[in-house]
Amino acid sequence: MLSRHANELYWMARHIERAENTARLLDVTYRTSLLPYEVGEPGLAWAAPWSVPLITLGLASTYYERYPVLTAENALRFMILDPSNTSSIYTCLGAARESARTVRGAITSEMYEDLNSAWIEMRTCDYERIQARGVSDFLDWVKMRSHLFRGVTFGTMLRDEAYHFIRLGTHMERADNTARILDTKYHILLPSVADVGGAVDYYQWASLLQSLSGFEAYRKIYSDVISPRRIAELLILRDDMPRSLHSCMNFIHETLQLLCDAQSREIERQAGAMHARIHYGRTDDIMDFGLHEYLIDFLEHISRLGAEVSKAFLVPV
Amino acid sequence: MSPPAYDEMRTGEGVIRPHYRAFADWLHRTPPDRIAQKREEAERLFHRVGITFAVYGEQAGTERLIPFDVVPRIIPAHEWQRLEAGLVQRVQALNLFLRDIYHEQAILRAGIIPAECVLGNSQYRREMVGVDVPGGIYAHVAGIDVVRDERGEYCVLEDNLRVPSGVSYMLENRKMTMRLFPELFATQSIRPIQHYPDVLLENLHAVAPAGRERPTVAVMTPGAFNSAHFEHAFLAQQMGVELVEGQDLFVQNDTVYMRTTRGPQRVHVLYRRVDDDFLDPLAFRPDSMLGVPGLFAAYRAGRVTLANAIGTGVADDKSIYPYVPDMIRFYLTEEPLLANVPTLVLSRPDDCAEALAHLSELVVKEVHGAGGYGMLIGPAATLAEREDFRRRITAAPERYVAQPTLALSTCPTFAATGLASRHIDLRPYVLCGRDVGLVPGGLTRVALPEGSLVVNSSQGGGTKDTWVLAPDEPC
C-alpha cells in the first residue's frame, strides 16, 4: 500500500488510542482529586493532582504558557478542549478523523462513519456542556467511542496491510500511554513518608488500576490487598492483561513480523528484543531497578522503535 | 415573459404523466409526517456518511452538504433511448475531433471550424500535437449537461471533458432512495446504475499501455482539501485501486511509480482528477505542488495513460461548443440526435450586435467560465448588472457567448413551504474505453431558490436521484 496511506492509518489509530488514554489519565486524576489530600494551602488541595497528567505527558511548560495558574478547570479545558494541545481529546479526535477522511478508501465505510459521527459530537462539546453532563460521564463517552471504533475495525476490516498498520499504531500508542499512566504514581507526592502504605496511598493505587481497567482483574487474580509490586506485575509483565506492556509488545512484535521484509528485518529484531525483555522479565528485577526508572527506559525504547517504523514504512526518504 | 417551463411530473393540463404515476400515488398515500421523517433520515445519513464538499473562498476546511431532494427525477424508457443514442454520438464526435486537432487537423482544413478558434485557444495544448493516445480516446469520462426546453425537447447545454465531477452523488443518491423508498423499487423496474465503477475500471484497463495483462490503475487527486475529494476517494474505493497524490508518485526512466510500504510499484493508468496545468511542473505550471515532475514525458513516451487525456479542454470550451453539431456531421456523417442550445458567438460582429440589443432576454456566459460563476442571467439581472456586462462585452466580445434564457424543465421539490416546482438539469456520464456507453442515469441538479435557473452546487443547487425506467414498463 501507499506509504502515505499507511502513515495516515497508523496515526489515525494512535490518535484514537491517545484520546482514550488521555481520558483515562484525566479520569484517574479526577478520582484522585476527590480524595482527601492535604497540602500547605488548603485552597489548592483540589488543584495539586492536576499537575500529574501534565507532567506525565510532558505538557507542563505548554500549559503554563497558556494558563497562569493550575486549577482543575484550566487543566480540564487544556486536556479536553484545547486545540493547541497536541494531546487534547479534541485535537486527537480531530486528527484521527482528518486522517480517516484523507484515506477513507483504505478503511471500511462503517469505520469512517463511526469516527465521523464521534467527531461531529465532539465538535458540539464545550466546557459548560461537559460540566453539565458530568466530567466522568464525558470521559466514559470518549472511552466508549474508542472501544466502538476498535470493534468496528475488528468486525469489518479486511486483514490486509492497512489493518496491520492500524493495529501497530494502536499498540505502539497504548504501550507508551500505559507506561506513562503507571508512572503517574511516581509524581503524586504523599503528604508524608508515614503515609506510604496508608489509606491515601491505597486509594491512589486503586484509582490508577481503575483507570487502566485493571481493578477487577487485580481482584480476580490476586484476591488480596493492593500492592505496588503486584500492580507492576499486572500491568507490565502479565500478557493476559490487554493494556499491559507485555500484551502490547506481543501485538507489536507479531504485527512487525507480518509487515517486515528482508530490508526491514532490523526493526523486527529490535521489537523482538524489547519483547523478550518483558517476556522473560521478573517483578523483583523491575522493583530493584526502580519502577520509575524502568518505565522511563521503556518509553525511550518504544519511542526509538516508533521512529524506525516511520523511517522504514511510513515516510521513506 | 417566456412560455411556461416543461414540468417533468404533470402535463400543462395538470394531469400526472404516466411514468410519474407510481410515485404520485406514493406521495398521495404517505402521511406528511412520514415523508418529513424520511427527509430527516436522508439528511442525517448524508452527514454521517460524510458526503460533503469543500467550498472555496470560505474558511479553510469548511465542509457543506449538497442538499438532497427526495423527489426523484424520472425518465421514461423511450426518452432515455433517444438521449443515450444522442450522447454516445456526441462524445464519439468529440473524441474524433480531439484526435484530429492534435494530428491532421482535417476539420480546420475543411473550414468547418475557424483554425484560430482552435489553435489560438488557451486550452489547446501544443505539447499534445502528434502524441498518440491508446485507442485514440481523449475523453474517457465525459459529463454532458442536458436541459429540456419548454416543449420538453432535450438539448445539450455544455460538455465537460476535463475532470467532470458529481458521479459519486449520482451513486449515493441512488443508495439513499433505495433505502427511503424500497416499495417503489419493488413495484416498478428502475434500471440499476451501481455498476458504474466497474464499467469505469474496465474502460481504464482497456486503455492501458499496450501489452499489459493486469495493468495497475490509480486515481490521482489534488488532495483532501479539494472540493471533490470525497468523490475521488469514493471512486478509488469502489474500484479497489489506490488513491494517490502527486507526492506519492515519481518518475524514473519515463516510468511512473508509486511509493508503497514495499518499495516502488509501477502505475500504468492514472484516472487523474488534477487539472492539466498542475500535472507536471516540468511541462506545465512550474509552481505546481500537486504534480509529478516527468509525468508528461512518461505520458508522451506511452508508458502511462492519463484519463482524461491532456488537452481535452479545447473541445468543451464554450467558443467551440457551437460547432459540435457540425463536428458530428463532419466525422460521423450523421445528423445530430441531440440539439445544441442556440448560441450567439460574440466574437462575430452580427451576433454581438444582436446580443447587446437583447441583453435583458439572454444568458451571457464567459467562454472559459465554469461553475455558474461569471455569468449574466438577463431577465433576473438588475439594470446596473446588465450595463456592467454591456461594458465588459464591448471591451472583449471574444470572451463571451450568449444563449436564450431557457425555461429549464421543472420537477416537484420539497421547499420550506412544501412541495413546489423547481428547475432542474441533468448530467449523464459517458464512458469511453473498450466502447462508448453510459449507465442509465445521471446526476439531476436542482436550483433550490424559487424561480432560480442556476443549478450549480457552489451557487445553492441541490441534487435528486435520477430514475430511468426499463422498457417493459407500461408507460
Q: What pLDDT, on a 0 to 100 scale, did the predictor assign at position B305?
A: 97
Report B:210-269 residues touching A (Cβ under 8 A): 223-224, 229, 233-234, 236-237, 242-245, 247-248, 258-263
Which of these ranges, B94-108, B238-252, B277-291, has the smallest mean pLDDT? Answer: B277-291
**Residue B198 in grid coordinates:** 466497474
Query: Which H helix or E strand runs over A220?
Result: helix A215-222
Is residue A46 pLDDT above 90, yes or no? no
- Positive or negative: CA dihedral A44, A46, A52, A57: negative
CB B76 within 8 A of CB B469: yes
- How buried is residue B167: exposed, middle or buried, by Cβ count under 10 Å (0-12/13-18/19+)? buried
Are B48 and A4 an interchain contact pair (Cβ–Cβ within 8 Å)? Answer: no
pLDDT in tens, B54-89: 555 444 445 667 889 999 999 999 999 999 999 999
Are B48 and A1 an interchain contact pair (Cβ–Cβ within 8 Å)? Answer: no
- Measured between CA atoms, the residue of chain B closest to residue A313 is B261
Q: What pLDDT, on a 0 to 100 scale, did the predictor assign at position B421?
A: 93
Residue-range definition of the domain harbouring residue A208: 3-314
User: What is chain B's mean pLDDT, rounded?
Assistant: 90
Q: How far apart are CA B317 and CA B324, in angstroms?
A: 11
The β-bridge partners of B219 are B243, B271
Are B260 and A1 an interchain contact pair (Cβ–Cβ within 8 Å)? Answer: yes
Q: Which residue among A3, A6, A102 places its CB closest to the CB of B224?
A: A102
Q: What pLDDT, on a 0 to 100 scale, did the predictor assign at position B463?
A: 94
Q: How far apart are CA B408 and CA A292, in angstroms?
A: 74
Q: Parallel, antiparallel, or unpaired for β B418-427 and B443-447?
A: antiparallel
Which residues of chain B are within 8 Å of residue A161 when distances are taken between CB atoms?
261
Interface test with A, best of B234, B261, B262 (most A CBs within 10 A): B261
Residue predicted with more confidence, B307 or B460: B307
Distance from CA of B35 to the nearest CA of A (A): 24
Which residues of chain B are within 8 Å of residue A313 when distances are taken between CB atoms?
261
Q: How far apart are CA B390 and CA B236, in angstroms?
A: 45
pLDDT in tens, B203-234: 999 999 987 778 999 999 998 888 888 899 89
Q: How far apart are CA B88 and CA B140, in angstroms?
A: 12
Are A4 and B49 an interchain contact pair (Cβ–Cβ within 8 Å)? Answer: no
Is residue B435 pLDDT above 70, yes or no? yes
Is residue A47 pLDDT above 90, yes or no? no
Query: Which H helix or E strand runs over A232?
Result: helix A228-232
Nearest 5°: phi and psi at B313?
-60, -25
B151 touches chain A (CB under 8 A): no
Q: What is the DSSP string of B383-438?
A: HHHHHHHHHHHHH-GGGEEEEE-----EEEEEETTEEEEEEEEEE-EEEESSSEE-
User: What is chain A's mean pLDDT, rounded?
Assistant: 89
CB B329 within 8 A of CB B344: no
Q: Parallel, antiparallel, or unpaired for β B429-432 and B461-468?
A: unpaired
Q: How far apart are CA B65 and CA A314, in angstroms?
A: 33
Query: Which H helix or E strand runs over B142?
Result: strand B141-148
Q: How far apart are CA B86 and CA B98, in angstroms?
A: 19
Are B233 and A105 an interchain contact pair (Cβ–Cβ within 8 Å)? Answer: yes
Q: How far apart are CA B142 and CA B89, in angstroms?
A: 12
Are A2 and B248 an interchain contact pair (Cβ–Cβ within 8 Å)? Answer: yes
Which of these ranges, A13-17, B93-97, B318-322, has the smallest mean pLDDT? Answer: B318-322
Q: Which residue among B224, B245, B262 places its CB closest to the CB of A101?
A: B224
Nearest 5°: phi and psi at B469?
-85, 145
Task: Give the residue carrying C-alpha cell 481523449.
Answer: B138
**A304 vs B18, B136, B158, B193, CA distance in Å?**
71, 53, 57, 51
Question: Edge-to-edge, what's the strand order for the sheet holding B375-377?
Answer: B344-345, B400-404, B362-366, B375-377
| Cα dihedral A263, A265, A266, A267 in deg (nearest 10) | 100
3-state SS assignment for residue B267: coil
Nearest one of B59, B53, B55 to B234, comparing CA atoms: B53
Which residues of chain A are within 8 Å of residue B49 when distances are taken between CB atoms?
109, 112-113, 116
Check whether the bond before A85 is cis (ω within 30° of 0): no
Is residue A109 pLDDT above 90, yes or no? no
ipTM: 0.72
pLDDT in tens, A121-153: 999 999 999 999 999 999 999 999 999 999 999
Q: Which residues contact A96 (CB under 8 A, 6 or more apart)?
A: A11, A12, A13, A15, A16, A19, A115, A119
Amino acid, res. B222: P
Share of chain A above pLDDT 70, in %: 92
b/e map B7-16, b = 16+ CB within 10 Å = bbbeeeeeeb
Are B48 and A259 an interchain contact pair (Cβ–Cβ within 8 Å)? Answer: no
Q: What pLDDT, on a 0 to 100 scale, did the predictor assign at position B51?
A: 65
Q: What is the mean pLDDT of residues B316-325?
A: 93
pLDDT in tens, B290-315: 899 999 999 999 999 999 999 999 99
CB A208 within 8 A of CB A231: yes
3-state SS assignment for residue B89: helix
Q: Which residue among B234, B236, B261 places its CB closest to the CB of A3?
A: B261
Which residues of chain A are within 8 Å of residue B263 when distances are taken between CB atoms?
263
Q: How far apart are CA B409 and CA B29, in angstroms?
A: 26
The distance in angstroms from the start CA to the end CA of chain B is 33
Number of CB pairs, chain A paired with chain B, less than 8 A apart:
63
User: pLDDT class for A192, splitting at 50, 70, 90?
Assistant: low
Query: Which H helix or E strand runs over B444?
Result: strand B443-447
Q: What pLDDT, on a 0 to 100 scale, did the predictor assign at position A42?
A: 46
Q: How far apart are CA B375 and CA A132, in angstroms?
A: 51
Tally the domains of chain A. Answer: 1
**A175 vs A236, A252, A303, B200, B427, CA distance in Å?**
10, 9, 10, 44, 52
Which residues of chain B are within 8 Å of residue A262 when distances are taken between CB atoms?
none
Are B261 and A259 an interchain contact pair (Cβ–Cβ within 8 Å)? Answer: yes
Query: Which H helix or E strand runs over B169?
Result: helix B167-180
Q: What angle, rounded to 10 degrees, do the helices at A109-123 and B32-49 form?
A: 100
Q: Which residue among A5, A106, A112 places its CB closest to the CB of B50?
A: A112
Which residues of chain A are within 8 Å of residue B261 when distances are taken between CB atoms?
1-3, 6, 161, 165, 259, 313-314
Q: What pLDDT, on a 0 to 100 scale, did the predictor assign at position B1?
A: 46
**Residue A253 in grid coordinates:** 512484535
Share of chain B above pLDDT 70, in %: 94
Query: Which H helix or E strand runs over A253?
Result: helix A245-259
Report B:30-49 residues touching A (Cβ under 8 A): 47-49
Is residue A228 pLDDT above 90, yes or no? no
Share of chain B above pLDDT 90, in %: 69
Are A105 and B262 an interchain contact pair (Cβ–Cβ within 8 Å)? Answer: no
Residue predicted with more confidence, B237 or B105: B105
Q: What is the mean pLDDT of residues B334-342?
A: 96
Nearest one of B144, B148, B45, B18 to B442, comparing CA atoms: B144
Is residue B455 pLDDT above 80, yes or no? yes
- Taking the CA of residue A134 as centre, how many other CA atoms within 13 Å lie in the half-sphere pointing to its CB? 5
Q: How far apart are CA A124 and CA A133, in angstroms?
A: 13
Is residue B289 pLDDT above 90, yes or no? no
Q: What is the mean pLDDT of residues B232-242?
A: 92
Q: What is the mean pLDDT of residues B115-126?
A: 92
Is residue B474 pLDDT above 80, yes or no? no
CB B439 within 8 A of CB B196: yes
Q: What is the DSSP string of B300-355?
A: HTTSSEEESPTTGGGTSSTTTGGGHHHHHHHHH-S--SSEEPP-EETTSHHHHHHH
